[in-house]
Amino acid sequence: MEKKRIPLVFLLVLISFQLCFAEPLFYESFDKPFEGSWIVSQKDEYQGVWKHAKSEGHDDYGLLVSEKARKYAIVKELDEAVSLKDGTIVLQFETRLQNGLECGGAYLKYLRPQEAGWKSKEFDNESPYSIMFGPDKCGSTNKVHFIIKHKNPKTGEYVEHHLKFPPSVPSDKLSHVYTAILKPSNEVVILVDGEEKKKGNILSADDFEPSLIPDKTIADPDDKKPEDWDEREKIPDPNAVKPEDWDEDAPMEIEDEEAEKPEGWLDDEPEEIDDPDASKPEDWDDDEDGEWEAPKIDNPKCEAAPGCGEWKKPMKSNPAYKGKWHAPLIENPSYKGIWKPQQIPNPAYFELEKPDFEPVAAIGRQRGSPSLRLRKKNRRLRKKQLQLQMSYQAYRLLFILLVL
């Protein structure tokens, strides 16, 4: 196991030295208790208790999820909001799923300022964020999420835009590094263990669903299909007549009159008999349990015979069966095609050269805990770098956000 972890640790150090240049603005190792620094959500649905302790197999302290089958939520307010509009942004974390990720997420939310209408003590799944990134696996879901929540300047609505066809979560129990790089060219690159797995353009409808830039036109909601509009491409031939010899009442199967009972068939023997070795239990009470009946077993006399019980002639397909008659289909002379409403200018359409990201003012983590213990450690924010590390007893996460 140590041989497998060494290259991964080296990769993290290499990336950090290549990308990290700014002085630290925020750093936390969780060597000391988190109370007073991290804020636990007080919403009723989050009853899980966070603990500051050493987890099994680790010598350093961390923030642990204490019980399974509980919901947890915690948030860290940054000293000052971080803009995501300048330079290159890199989000990176290391995760080790020691017991595998059966059903859960290991993603982080980069939250908007609280002026957006949320409070740290009320942090929950609805708290507004700018970016959500990380692995998620449960049932048919198996993906490394990359979601942008962007404001439509025309409608004022915040819309989630999901990266299409994201990479899947590795199924092994080793450490893996997830990286998302947002470039000034609007390109986003997703890497797993330093290897590029997905590349896309944030403003492209081919790469994000729904597209960050809405369609120029939409279907007119007031346009109605004319009552005489015929969408049937084919219709029953009105001139067709059912043949006189067509019998709709003929059954699909009939009795095989030529069949004969196999020789040796035991008409008087049942297929099942009472188990001769069974006996009524001593504690059986006929008044409470009812009359006792021995369990049934296959009749051993039927094993060597072609069959037992009443013999009946088998059924066979009826050669006279034709079923319900239907007139054959012909081309519809009134066919006009599939009706579609006319297109009108989309009132929500806007043009954009670069995404208008909201700043990050806090870092949040909320989740259910079906089977794992969460451990967070070494979170660092630089003036142009946000570095976070999250660890689980079963796996470890390192989050880094760089703005260069």
Between 65 and 107, whose confidence is greater?
107
Q: 101 or 158: which carries more pLDDT confidence?
A: 158
pLDDT mean over 98-124: 80
Lowest-pLDDT choice from 27-41, 46-60, 265-279: 46-60
Q: Flag whether pLDDT at 403 surpasses 80.
A: no
- What average pLDDT is seen over the chain? 80
Q: What is the pTM of this model?
A: 0.65
* Average pLDDT, integer, range 126-137: 89
Stretch 153-161: mean pLDDT: 94
Q: Please name the residues in contact with 135: beta carbons below 8 A apart, sequence gap of 6 or more.
A: 95, 101, 105, 106, 107, 143, 144, 145, 169, 178
pLDDT reading at 302 higher than 70? yes
168-182: string of b/e by CB count within 10 Å (b at 16+)? ebbeeeebbbbbbbb
Kindly tell me if the per-residue pLDDT of 17 is higher than 60. no
Dist. CA 52–CA 50, nearest whole Å: 7
Mean pLDDT of 174-180: 81
Mean pLDDT value of segment 117-129: 89
Lowest mean pLDDT across 4-13, 131-140, 213-222, 225-234? 4-13
Q: What is the pLDDT of residue 367?
A: 63
* pLDDT confidence of residue 400: 37
What whole-number percentage of the chain has pLDDT above 70? 77
Please tell me which residue, 175 or 378, carries the higher pLDDT value. 175
Question: Distance between CA atoms of 183 and 186, rounded to whole angstroms?
Answer: 6
pLDDT tens column, 200-246: 999 999 999 999 999 999 999 999 999 999 999 999 999 999 999 99
> What whole-number percentage of the chain has pLDDT above 90?
47
Cα–Cα distance measured from residue 19 to residue 36, given in angstroms and rounded to the nearest whole number? 31
3 state SS for the chain:
CHHHHHHHHHHHHHHHHHHCCCCEEEEECCCCCCECCEEECCCCCCCCCEEEEECCCCCCEEEEECCCCEEEEEEEEEEEEECCCCCCEEEEEEEECCCCCCCEECCEEEECCHHHCCCHHHCCCCCCEEEEEEEEEECCEEEEEEEEEEECCCCCCEEEEEECCCCCCCCCCCEEEEEEEECCCCEEEEEECCEEEEEEECCCCCCEECCCCCCCEEECCCCCCCCCCCCCCEEECCCCCCCCCCCCCCCCEEECCCCCCCCCCECCCCCEEECCCCCCCCCCCHHHHCCCCCCEEECHHHCCCCCECCCCCCEEECCCCCCCCCCCEEECCCCCCCCCCCEEECCCCCCCCCCCCCCEEEEEEEEEECCCCEEECCEEEECCEEEEEEEECCCEEEEEEEEC
Q: How many CB atoms lie within 10 A of CB 54?
A: 13
Condensed to tens digits (0 to 9), the pLDDT of residues 337-379 reads 999 999 999 999 999 999 999 988 888 876 654 433 333 333 3
**Mean pLDDT of the 179-197 span:** 91
115-to-132, 149, 342, 359 alpha-carbon distances in Å: 19, 16, 41, 11
* Selected residue with higher pLDDT from 395 and 371: 371
**Pairwise CA distance, residues 372 & 98, whole Å:** 9
pLDDT for residue 10 is more than 60: no
* Mean per-residue pLDDT, 163-167: 95
Mean pLDDT across 86-108: 70
* 187-192 and 195-201 beta bridge pairing: antiparallel
State mean pLDDT over 299-306: 91
Residue 100: pLDDT band by 50, 70, 90 thresholds? Answer: low
Q: How many residues make up the chain in this entry? A: 404
Return the pLDDT at 243. 93
pLDDT at 23: 44
Among 152-156, 325-329, 371-375, name the one with the lowest average pLDDT.
371-375
Domains and CATH numbers, the chain: 2-219+357-403 (2.60.120.200)
Predicted pLDDT at 58: 64
Compute the average pLDDT of residues 27-35.
74
Where on the phi/psi map is residue 283: left (φ > 0), alpha (ψ -120 to 50), or beta? alpha
pLDDT at 277 over 60: yes
